[in-house]
Amino acid sequence: MTIFSWQFALGYLILAPFIGGFMTGLDRKISARMQGRVGPSLLQPFYDVSKLMQKETKIVNHLQQFMVSSFVIFVAFTGALFFFGGDLLLVFFSLTLAGIFYVLTASCANAPYSSLAAQRELLQMMAYEPMVLLAAIGFYLATGSFAVKDIAAADMSGIVMLPGFFLGFLFILAIKLRKSPFDLSTGQHAHQELVQGLNSDLSGFVMGLVEIAHWYENVFLFGVVGLFILNSHVWSIPVALVVCFLVYFLAILVDNVSARVKWKLLFTSAWIVTACTGVVNLLVVSLLHLAK
Amino acid sequence: MAKMSKSPWVLHYDAASCNGCDIEVLACLTPVYDAERFGVINTGDPKHADIFLITGGINEQCKDVVKQLYDQMPNPKVVVAVGICACSGGVFKETYNILGGADQVVPVDVYVPGCAARPESIIDGIVKAIGILDEKKAALKEGRLDEYEAAHCKKKQQEVEA
Ligand code: SF4
C-alpha cells in the first residue's frame, strides 16, 4: 500500500502552504507559551503574508523577482516530486537548486548584509548537503530503491536499518528549518545580527513569496522525516505523523533554549555528526549486506 | 484579505535618546505586556516594517539616518514618536546639537508623551498607529495617499496650534 501518487502530489501543491503556515503559527504559539507569553493567534503567519502582499514592493534589482519565483517553483517542484513518489536523488538535487536560487536572490541585491547572508547560506548548504545525500544512499541500501514510492512500500520501516541516518537528518533539519542555534543566514525571529539576513532587501510581495516557499519547504522536510517511519502497513501513517510532530516540538524546544553558534562550530559539528551517525550507519548496513 | 492592522511590524530606532524610552519599548514585548499577541514584531529591517518608532530627539548626526530609514520603508507606513524627546526635544530641546522632535525630519503620525513613556501608553500609541495604517492603506488603494498625508499634517498642525 502506498499513498504516494499524483493525487498526493497535487494535494501537496494545493494544501502545503496552508499546512506550512499553520505549522509556523503553531511554532510561534508554542514558543510563546515556553516563554510564559500568550503569543499570537495560530493564523498570524497568514495575516503576515497577506499584509506583505498588500504592501508596496521595493525592488532593488529586477533579477530578484525572477530568482524568488524560481525559488518558489523549484521548492514546490521538489515537494511535488517527493509526494508523487519520485526519485529521491532527483528530489534532493532539485532542493539544492531551489536553495541556490534563494542565495542568488540575496546576492543580486548587491547590499552588504544580503551578500554576507548569502555567503553564510552557501556555507550552511555545504554543512548539511553530505548528510542529505547520505540519507538517499541509506534509503537505497535499506530498501534497494531510490524511488520514494518503493521506499514507503517496504516491509520494514527505514528507521529500523537507518537509526543513525535518522539522527543525522534531525541534526541538519535544525539547519534547514533555520532555527537556533543554526539560524546564521536568516531566521524567523527578528533582530538578527545581519538585519534580516537573506531577506534584508526583500519587501512586500516578493517577501510574501519567500514565506510561502518556506512553508512548502517545511512540509516537504517533514515528509522526509515521515519517510523514515513509513512502511507497507497502514498504521505506519499515523505513527509517522506523531513522529513528525514530536520532531517539530523538539526543534522548537532547541530553538528556545539555545543561542546562535558561530559558522565554524556549525560547519564542524554538522560534519562530525554526519560522520558519527550517517557514515557509521552506512558502514554497518554495508557489512550486513556483505554478510548476507 | 485580512486587514493590514493584523500584522503590524515595528522598526524601533533610537535617535538621541537617554535609553529610558528604549527600555520601555522593549518592555512592551516582554511576557507582562506581550505585544506579539496582536501580531506586533520588533523587526530590525526597515524594508519589512510598517510602523516606525522613534525615541529621543533628533540631532545633526542622526537626522540623515532617520530620513534614510523612513525612505526605505515601503508604503503604507506610520511614524510614532515615543517619549517627549521624540515629540519636541524634551529636556534637551535647548541644547546646541538638538534640532527638536522627530517631526523635524519625517512626518510624524502619532505622538506618545511621557518621560519615559510608559509601556501602556506606547501600546496605546501603536494601536492608534494601526488605525492610521489601515486608513493609509485605503488611501493608497485609491491612489490618494499624498492627499491623505497632507490633510493629516494640516489637522495635526491645527491641533498643535490650538
Ligand atoms: S523622554 Fe525622557 S526617558 Fe525618553 S528619551 Fe527623553 S529623557 Fe529619556
pLDDT digits (tens, 9 = 90+) for B115-131: 888 999 999 898 888 88
Distance CA B68, CA A197 (A): 19
Average pLDDT over residues A100-117: 88
Q: Which residues contact A264 (CB under 8 A, 6 or more apart)?
A: none
Assess if residue B16 is contained within a domain.
yes
Distance CA A192, CA B47 (A): 14
Chain A residue closest to B136 (CA)?
Answer: A55
Would you state the pLDDT for residue B160? 61
Chain B residue closest to A39 (CA)?
Answer: B37
Percent of chain B at pLDDT > 70 equals 93
Assess if residue B3 is contained within a domain.
no
Say if ligand 1 is within 6 A of residue B98 CB.
no
Would you state the pLDDT for residue A261? 84
Q: Quick check: A32 and B43 CB within 8 A? A: no
Q: Quick check: B74 and A32 CB within 8 A? A: no
Assess if residue B2 is contained within a domain.
no
Average pLDDT over residues A189-194: 67
Residue A12 pLDDT greater than 80, yes or no = yes
Structural domain including B78 reads 9-161
Which range, of A13-22, A266-275, B29-38, B145-154, averages the lowest pLDDT? B145-154
| Domain CATH code at residue B81 | 3.40.50.12280
Whether residue B116 is preceded by a cis peptide bond, meaning omega within 30 degrees of 0, is yes
Would you state the pLDDT for residue A86? 85
Assess if residue B48 is contained within a domain.
yes
Would you state the pLDDT for residue A19? 92
**What is the total count of domains within chain B?**
1
Average pLDDT over residues A25-44: 89
Chain A nearest C-alpha distance from B141 (Å): 9
By three-state DSSP, how is residue B44 classified?
coil
Chain B nearest C-alpha distance from A42 (Å): 10
Would you state the pLDDT for residue A191? 59
- Identify from A24, A27, A34, A37 which residue to disrupt to test chain B contact, counting B C-beta atoms within 10 A and taking the largest count: A37
* Average pLDDT over chain A, rounded to an integer: 87
**A47, A57, A200: residue with CB nearest B45:** A200
Distance CA B25, CA A111 (A): 29
Please give the ipTM for the structure prediction: 0.86
Chain B residue closest to A54 (CA)?
Answer: B4
CA-B55 nearest atom, ligand 1:
5
Task: Answer whether B52's CB lies under 8 Å from B11's CB.
Answer: yes
**A47, A57, A199: residue with CB nearest B39:** A47
Q: Quote the ligand 1 centre to B81 CA distance (angstroms).
A: 11
Assess if residue B153 is contained within a domain.
yes
Chain B nearest C-alpha distance from A193 (Å): 9
Would you state the pLDDT for residue B40? 87
**B1, B75, B76: residue with CB nearest A50:** B1
Say if ligand 1 is within 6 A of residue B5 CB.
no
Prediction pTM value: 0.89
pLDDT digits (tens, 9 = 90+) for A60-87: 888 888 999 999 999 999 999 999 888 8
Residue A154 pLDDT greater than 90, yes or no = no
Assess if residue B38 is contained within a domain.
yes
pLDDT confidence of B133, banded at 50, 70, 90?
A: confident
pLDDT confidence of B2, banded at 50, 70, 90?
A: low
* Neighbouring-strand partners of residue B100: B58
Percent of chain A at pLDDT > 90 equals 31
Average pLDDT over residues A9-18: 88
Assess if residue B67 is contained within a domain.
yes
Would you state the pLDDT for residue A220? 92
Q: Chains A, B: CB contacts under 8 A, how many?
A: 85
Residue B1 pLDDT greater than 60, yes or no = no
* Average pLDDT over chain B, rounded to an integer: 85
Average pLDDT over residues A86-104: 91
Would you state the pLDDT for residue A155? 81
Say if ligand 1 is within 6 A of residue B88 CB.
no
pLDDT confidence of A258, banded at 50, 70, 90?
A: confident
Would you state the pLDDT for residue B116? 84
Distance of CA A33 to the CA centre of its chain: 24
Would you state the pLDDT for residue A113? 86
Residue A219 pLDDT greater than 60, yes or no = yes
Domain boundaries, chain A: 6-291
pLDDT digits (tens, 9 = 90+) for B3-53: 777 888 888 888 888 888 899 988 888 888 888 888 888 888 888 888 999
